[in-house]
Amino acid sequence: GAGVSQSPSNKVTEKGKDVELRCDPISGHTALYWYRQRLGQGLEFLIYFQGNSAPDKSGLPSDRFSAERTGESVSTLTIQRTQQEDSAVYLCASSLARRLEAFFGQGTRLTVV
């Protein structure tokens, strides 16, 4: 596609439920990143994928968070047993290679009630 696509754009879920967020990167982009943006804050790095290499999960805030990516295609971020502090906008970005500019999707706004 022309840009990074994320779905859903909005998600409201009850505390304790699991949610799955999807990211479709720009075709040909080998690097994919997930970030979280809490209200009025900067972006926090969550996880990085590069091709078929093992992901860098150093930014994941807890073991309730996990992500997958198959090759250089779609990625999913899963949050289990959601908590209210998980409410945020989750942004996905891709780039041709690491070190280069990353292009962001419009994000998924997650609200945990």
Partner 1 sequence: AQKVTQAQTEISVVEKEDVTLDCVYETRDTTYYLFWYKQPPSGELVFLIRRNSFDEQNEISGRYSWNFQKSTSSFNFTITASQVVDSAVYFCALSEGGSGYALNFGKGTSLLVTP
For residues 45 to 64, the per-residue mask of contacts with partner 1, x marking binding by CB under 8 A and - elsewhere, is: x--x-x-----x-xx-----
Q: Which residues pair with 32 in a beta bridge?
A: 49, 94
* Residue 7 sits in the site that holds partner 1 (CB under 8 A): no
Selected from 91, 94, 110, 112, the binder of partner 1 by CB under 8 A is 91
65 binds partner 1 (CB under 8 A): no
Q: Which is nearer to partner 1, 1 or 42 (CB)?
A: 42
Q: Is 83 helix (H, G, I), strand (E, B) or coil?
A: coil
Residue 31 interacts with partner 1 (CB under 8 A): yes or no = yes
DSSP 25-76: PPTT--EEEEEEE-TTS-EEEEEEEETTSPPB-TT--STTEEEEE-TTS-EE
